[in-house]
Each structure stands twice: as C-alpha cells, then as structure tokens.
Amino acid sequence: MNETPAIEVRHLVKAFGTFKANDDVSIAFYKGQVHALLGENGAGKSTLMNMLSGIYVPTSGQILVKGKEVKLHSAKEATELGIGMVHQHFMLVGAFTVLENIILGSEPTHAGRLNLKKARQKVEEILKHYDLDVDLDAHIDDISVGMQQRVEIVKVLYREADVLIFDEPTASLTPQEIEDLLVIMRQLANEGKAVILITHKLKEIRAVADITTIIRRGRVIDTVKTADESAEDLATKMVGRPVDFDLAKTPYKKGEPILQIDHLNVVDKMKINRVSDFTLTVHAGEIVGLAGIDGNGQSELVRALTGLLPVSSGKVTIAGKDTTHATPRQIVRDGVGHIPEDRQRYGLILPMTVIDNMGLMVYNEPPLAHHGLRNEAAGVKMTEELSKKFDVRTSSIRNSAGSLSGGNQQKLIIAREMSRDPKLLIAMNPTRGLDVGAIEFIHQQILNARDEGHAVLLVSYELDEVKQLADTIAVVHAGKLVATEAAANLSESQIGLLMAGEDIDGKEAAANAD
C-alpha cells in the first residue's frame, strides 16, 4: 500500500519501571480500513492506544500522523490531530444530559456565550447521518449501557476525528447492540476513516476487521489480512499455543439439591419489582445457565442470593440452610463462592494489594491468621500459589489490585472464589473482558467444579457460553423465569426468542416455565 498511513508507530516502547508494556512496536493504520488489535489481557493493547490518544507519553520510538512525527502530551493534542478514542470504561458525566456530554470541552460559543442551538444542530446531523437513535435531552444516568456507548461514539465524531480507536467496545453490550456497533464501524471505514478495534473476541474481528495485528506480551507477533486467517489460527498466534474451542464435557450426574429458590421476589430502591415469583433449583454436579438480556433481573437475583440486596418475599435455601435474610459473610461461610458482575465495585478493593484481595474471604482464619494476628508469610504463599495456578499476571503481588489489567483482576477473583472449594458457585459473566486463552481456562475450571460435585449457577449474557457450559438452561425475561429446559433441547435461536419474551412453540413464553 503506497498511500501515507493515517497514523503510524515506529519502534514504540513504553516502560513502567523495568517492565515493558510495549516493546519495539511498529504498526501502520490506514484510512478506509478497520484494523483490529488482538491480544491477551495485559498484552499491551490499551497501553499502545493510550499513547496514540495522548494519555501516555512513549518511553522511546515515534508516532506519525499523516506522515509527520508528532509528540503527544495530552488527549487534547490528540483530538486536535483528529484522533478520538472510545474507552472501555465510558468517560461520561452521569448528571449531565447526552448533549452536554457530547459537547463537553468543545462547546461552540458566540460572543463569549455558549451556543447550544448550533451544537444541537451539528449533533443532530451526525445522528441522522449514522442513523443513531439517541435522546439528546436524557441524562446519562437514565440511559442503557448500549446507548451510553453511542454517546461516546458521537462525542468522537463531533470532534471530527479521522482516526477512531475503540477499546474493548462490546464488553457490556447485548448481541443486537454488538451487531449495530459493527455496522457503524464498517460505515466509518467506508467513509474513509481509520478505525482501530482493540478486542480479544475472534467472532467480531472476523466479522468486521480488514487487517489484524496480533500482540503478545508487548510485542507484535504478526499483521495479517483477517479473511486469510481462521479463528483457530488467530487464537494460536494470540496465546502462543493451540486453543481448544470444544470443551470435553463428561456426562451430567445430578446430585442433591444445593440451591433452592422458592417464589422469590426482589424489589429495588425505586420500589420496582425486579425479580418476580422466581423458582429454581440447582443440584450438586449441575451447571444451570441463566440466559437473558441485560437488565431483566439477573443482577438483582444474584445480589439477593449473595446477601447484597434484601429479599421482599420468598425463600432461598443453600445446602439445606435457610439463607433468605443472611448477611454476605454468613452466605460465604455457608459455602457460596461469588464471581460478581462488576469486578471493581463488588469483587475487589482496588487500593489494597493482590495479597490482601486474595485473602479477603479468609483473612481472619488459619493459616492466614493465628490468635487474631495475621500471618503475612501464609498470605504471600497462598497468593503466589493461586496466582500461578490461575495465571494472574502482575510484576509484584504487593502491587494494588487496581494496577492489574481488567482480565487479571477477573482471574484474581476467580482464583480466590474457586480456591475455597464452594458448595455453590454463583458466576456472573465470569469471562467478561477475558481473551480466548483465559476463557478456555476459566471454562475448564467451572466444568471441573461441576465434575467434583459442586453446584454452579452461571449467569451470562454470552449465549455461546451458556450453551457450551450449561447442563440446564433457565431463561429469564422481565424478572420472570420463562423456561427451564435441558441444554440439549434448546437451540440458540429458541433461547434468543425466549430472552425477548417471544413464543417458541405456539404457547405463551411464560407457560414454558411450568
């Protein structure tokens, strides 16, 4: 390709102390292409993009925009050069309206006064051009995650970016929202913009990317035409070994009931019933996959089961013990492991060390404590062993949990919860934000727990994950259980229809729960 790249990096290095997050990286990104950056968690993808968007300053190497070397010291400088980034964790002000968030920092003025009319007109033209349905007067706190992401995209387009960087953009989206986003990316590339997609989801890369660059441990492994590579080839290059996409499942052996939920109702702070008359049983040696579109009561159900949200009526029994109104600590002591949906809010104490987070559930029990005094050596030993077993990557276990990449934070939680050998494992989106190598590993750990006789309630928005792991599939819609069926008896399209509250066999969806 003879044309000048829209943006290019040459021999780029970013070091944090002695650790090189990016090591001699050279890549060229061209207009009119979707260029995917594929790599494991902690491979250095986001670090590289943070240098392109002015958030980090390189240790050495060059960044060229339209053939000219630039020195970026702030996100503002990157924006002025036409580089825009849609971050994995949205940079939005919840109390502001959609319009206010879009123009924030780039407000048009006339005679020193804010010209909202001009701003609205420009934003409305963008929405019309890309066929985006966004309420400009709604507050960010009141709109869905998918809608918030659209706001982030419009923010970048409003600033007239020629290079658009999407950092793990589908982590919190429904399948339909993901489809819509990929259409927008393709449209942006077709209009001559350079689109950079950071992801580890092979299905999305193969659906939208023209070119894929694979990064492993801070170094470029290969740059390929996406259409020329199979999913298996890409996964092998990313992880450095063959990845098994088909997990071997032993025959399902149902044991005694471990989790029994009877006519459960859960009401939120707004006095809205989020879980309605919910009845479900999970047996020892069984994985029950709860499938549903985000926002249909799954979060409230899991929080109620783990003592984080009060139950308004109904009963929860775990291993024969009534835990309906038990505290989170009592529920942990009763043998429940919990992988929460929000790792940063519910799973970790980010300023604390990896050691302290690994021991959160057992810090006051032997061997981590003796006569009320902490045994530091035991905590270090346990953390080193679990970090190795569950591949939690950090330069030091004395670093804060907040310094880990998102995927390594997730693996830390999974290591902690599964190491306690729980009777019941409640796993909510356990592989969100993980790469294929880590997903394969975590899926195997969940199957191992099931084969060892543990009960597993898997709540996931990834239909592939539910179908692959679950023995029994329970489908939730609007807080109600609408179907419970052996996994082998439901196709992916049938599950999708039930999730949307649709009929699959001539009956009302709710009737399938009987």
Helix then strand count (H, E) for the chain reads 16, 24
Look at residue 18 in the predicted model and tell me its pLDDT. Answer: 85
The DSSP code sequence of 44-82 is SHHHHHHHHTTSS--SEEEEEETTEEE---SHHHHHHTT
360: tokens are 């959160």
Look at residue 232 in the predicted model and tell me its pLDDT. Answer: 87
User: Per-10-residue mean pLDDT for the chain, 514 residues long?
Assistant: 85 90 94 93 85 92 94 90 84 88 83 82 91 88 80 89 88 73 92 91 90 93 94 86 75 92 91 93 97 86 94 96 95 93 88 95 87 90 94 91 86 92 94 79 90 95 87 94 92 82 59 41
Look at residue 298 in the predicted model and tell me its pLDDT. Answer: 92
Look at residue 510 in the predicted model and tell me its pLDDT. Answer: 42
Separation CA 412–CA 356 (nearest Å): 11
Secondary structure (3-state) at 251? coil
Place of tokens 């048009």: 108
Separation CA 188–CA 86 (nearest Å): 14
Separation CA 281–CA 327 (nearest Å): 21
Look at residue 380 in the predicted model and tell me its pLDDT. Answer: 95
Sign of CA dihedral 125, 79, 198, 99: negative
Look at residue 174 in the predicted model and tell me its pLDDT. Answer: 66
Look at residue 374 in the predicted model and tell me its pLDDT. Answer: 87
- Given the DSSP bridges, would you call strands 60-65 and 7-16 parallel, antiparallel or unpaired? antiparallel
**Phi, psi of 431, rounded to the nearest 5 degrees:** -110, 15
Provide the greatest CA pair distance for the chain: 75
Look at residue 81 in the predicted model and tell me its pLDDT. Answer: 93
Look at residue 69 in the predicted model and tell me its pLDDT. Answer: 94
Look at residue 506 in the predicted model and tell me its pLDDT. Answer: 44
Look at residue 172 in the predicted model and tell me its pLDDT. Answer: 63
Q: Which amino acid would we find at residue 148?
A: Q
